[in-house]
A and B are shown apart, each in its own frame.
Chain A
Amino acid sequence: MNGFLQGVVDALALGSLYAIFALGIALIFSVLKMINFAHSELVTIGAFVLILLADVPLIIRILILVVVVVGAAVLMERVAFRPVRGAGQTTMLITSFAVSYLLQNAAILIFGPDLRSGSVWSVLNESFMLGPVRILNLNALTIVLTLVLLVALTLFLRKTSIGLQMRAAAEDFTTARLVGVKANRIIAVAFGISGLLAAIASFLLTAQTGVVTNTIGVQVVLMAFVATILGGMGSLSGAVIGAFVLGAVSVILQQLLPLELRPFRDAFLFAAVFVVLVVRPGGLIVTRASRARV
């Protein structure tokens, strides 16, 4: 029973981490219909900030982290994505892939290929007991932060004017523009929020690993992609559900798979996602905007 509860907590923590990544990707997708590969590099930039400034007090470091990553996200949109916005989905997809590759290698060019280590906040690596279950502070923080973010994002999208405009743009951008939604502003705000999500994600990820390499964001972002397809492209709640399902299945596979099959966990995971997509090609939650005509 305790093992089961422990597993539930692990699954929730992993799912929460995936969810923060997946939300950043799903948000951009819902507005721009672009899968942002470079989201992982936003996380990498954040990780570099945290590790390189390890001597700066935590609060100031977090402030710098948020400013730099949100700035990078908005800049990325302005420089790379705006010029190709009208050029079709494939072009935008390749552009984001190219930006991701460019930044990954720019990190090598600037910081060298070696990995750097540093402590983010040592308190997070301690743990406490909740009844019979031992919970890592970091995991608790991840779960709580995700809940807070979900509530905040929901309120933002439902209660503010710009949130409403963003939902309208996600539903049908052309019509939204006809009734006065400013495209550049909405897209910039979406990138800003996804930058904030990436900053938080990089904080949690770096606190966990304690090291930074130029590809630190890639592995988790791949998982987040799968979570967004699983949940249904373009649906924010779908992305969150997909992330938690993926986290749960990861933990279950890790527990149940025989030892010699464990290295193949990701392969099984992706195979499982494939099966889900055969049964429900549009993902778990199908949005109106993403429904295909063929």
Chain B
Amino acid sequence: MRVLGFVRRSASTPIILALLVALVTIVANSAGDASLRRIVVGAVVNMIAVIGIYLFIGLTGVFSFGQLAFMAIGAYATAIFTVPVATKRALFSAMPEWLADINLPFIPGILAGALVAAVVAFLLSFPMARMQPLSAGLATLAILVAVYTVAGNWTAVTNGSKGMSAIPTNTTMPVALIAVILVIIAVWIFQQSGLGLRIRATREDAVAARAIGIKVGRERGIAFVASAFVMGLAGGLYAQLQGTLSPDAFFLNQTFLLIAMLVVGGLNSLTGAVIGTILITAFRRVLQVIEAGVDIGPLEIPGRPGLTEVGIGIALLVVLALRSSGLTRGTEVSWDSLVRFGKRLTRRGTPSAAPTAAADPESVAGLAAAERTTPETATAEAVIEPERTPGA
């Protein structure tokens, strides 16, 4: 019974999210043909990247446009580590000897790639920690441009704008699914830990957090490095999914897509990252089909390039204008929240209860607040709340 209680209180979120992701992936995977299956695996890799972005932006509240730079680093590093030595000699003749001689199997290769990304982030985190949040957000844009420029021109290592090819393709559906579930569990443990709590406290109110002895810059730096590791992991899986790499895959357009996923779901929750990815991926797929041109009965809609991107842009703007904290409003799904949601649905079903539901102060905002109050966050809120009022 004690185990069940623990699961309900503290571990239900990652379990629900993992089940949801597994269910959606397996259903989409069995419903479609080979090309759709490839898209599904790509979407799972995207989800890992979105969670990686969440790990920094969502937990610290500091905005970053540059997290994809670490995905690029992870992808290129993994590619260099895992392409067979003979192939590297043949295809990338300019590559330095010692680099061409490295050859790692799939999983060590991906982990090593993620580690490279994390090391770069670690070095960058020191100047980052000194900057104000908004400057830091723009500085990450500088990182993105710098990495893009290097990836596009450093022919000896990245093969320049021609990109890498002949990367072994080991990222299959089960591999990607296991990876995303492990990431969800790891990120959940991270954000519920004392460290995660301190990081989230700096997001809620940096002044108050510092007043209770939290080193704001250091905690942000840790989140930055952790995020870069997850981004690097996503990059490595991406490289091993596509088999080829080009710098354009990690620039502004892809940054926008992944940020749109996170924001639509809700910037400040892991649930938001997962749900946003699923929704935007599905929405994007529909738009892509329309963009290619469809016939609905007698109605012929011609293909229009650009339609998908415009549609996603509008969707994001609408969410920002109507519900700027995203669909989840920064709350995590949990066993209790699902039960409450179910009760609300059944209550709404009976006519006599309808007026009470409308007058219920707990309706939308109240529910959101209630869901957020897992025991741990409750403590954080209690600490920060009194400080926030005079500060505002």
Residues of A whose CB lies within 8 Å of any CB of B are 33, 35, 80, 83-84, 87-91, 93-95, 97-99, 101-102, 104-109, 112-113, 218, 222, 225-226, 228-229, 233, 263-264, 266-267, 270-271, 273-275, 277-278, 281-283, 290, 292-294
Contact = CB atoms under 8 A, between A and B. Distances in A.
A123 to B, nearest CB: 34
Given A90-B63, A93-B63, A274-B127, A102 B149 contact: no
A94 B154 CA distance: 31
Contacts of B314: 102
Interface of B: 57, 61, 63, 65, 124, 126-127, 130-135, 137-139, 141-143, 145-146, 149-150, 152-154, 206-207, 210, 216, 252-253, 256, 259-260, 263, 267, 304-307, 309-310, 312-314, 316-317, 320-321, 324
Nearest to B304: A109
A24 B340 CA distance: 49
A282 B135 contact: yes
A267 B132 contact: no
A250 to B, nearest CB: 13
Nearest to B291: A109
A84 B321 contact: yes
Contact of A266 (B61, B145, B316): B145
Given A98-B313, A109-B307, A263-B153, A292 B132 contact: yes
B267 A281 contact: no
Given A101-B256, A266-B149, A233 B135 contact: yes
- The 5 A-B residue pairs whose C-beta atoms are closest, nearest first, are A102-B313, A108-B306, A105-B309, A109-B306, A263-B153
Contacts of B146: 266-267, 270-271
Contact of B207 (A89, A108, A264, A293): A293
Contact of B149 (A105, A228, A264): A264
Given A109-B304, A277-B131, A267 B313 contact: no
Contacts of B152: 263
Contact of B130 (A264, A273, A278): A278
Q: Interface SS of chain A: helix, strand, loop or mixed?
A: helix
A294 B63 contact: no
Residue of B138, B142, B146 with most partner-chain A CB within 10 A: B142
A94 B276 CA distance: 15
Nearest to B135: A229
A294 B210 contact: yes
Contact of A102 (B124, B132, B150, B317): B317
B324 A87 contact: yes
Contact of B313 (A101, A225, A233, A270): A101
B130 A113 contact: no
B267 A277 contact: no
A282 B304 contact: no
A174 to B, nearest CB: 11
B305 A112 contact: yes
A106 B63 contact: no
B142 A98 contact: no
A222 B141 contact: yes
Contact of A263 (B63, B149, B304): B149
A264 B310 CA distance: 32
Contacts of A88: 324
A269 to B, nearest CB: 8
Contacts of A109: 304-307, 310
Contacts of A91: 320, 324
Contacts of B259: 94, 97
A98 B135 contact: no
Contacts of A95: 317, 320-321
Residue of A87, A105, A228, A271 with most partner-chain B CB within 10 A: A105
Contacts of B63: 89-90, 93-94
Contacts of A87: 320, 324
26 contacts: A83-B320, A84-B321, A87-B324, A93-B134, A93-B137, A98-B260, A99-B313, A102-B317, A109-B306, A113-B306, A218-B252, A222-B145, A225-B141, A228-B138, A229-B139, A233-B132, A264-B153, A266-B145, A267-B146, A267-B150, A273-B139, A277-B130, A277-B135, A281-B130, A281-B135, A294-B206
A266 B145 CA distance: 8
A32 to B, nearest CB: 12
Contacts of A84: 320-321, 324
Contacts of A80: 317, 321
A106 B131 contact: no
B309 A277 contact: no
Contacts of B216: 294
B314 to A, nearest CB: 6
B316 A98 contact: yes
B257 to A, nearest CB: 9
A233 B134 contact: yes
Contacts of A93: 63, 134, 137
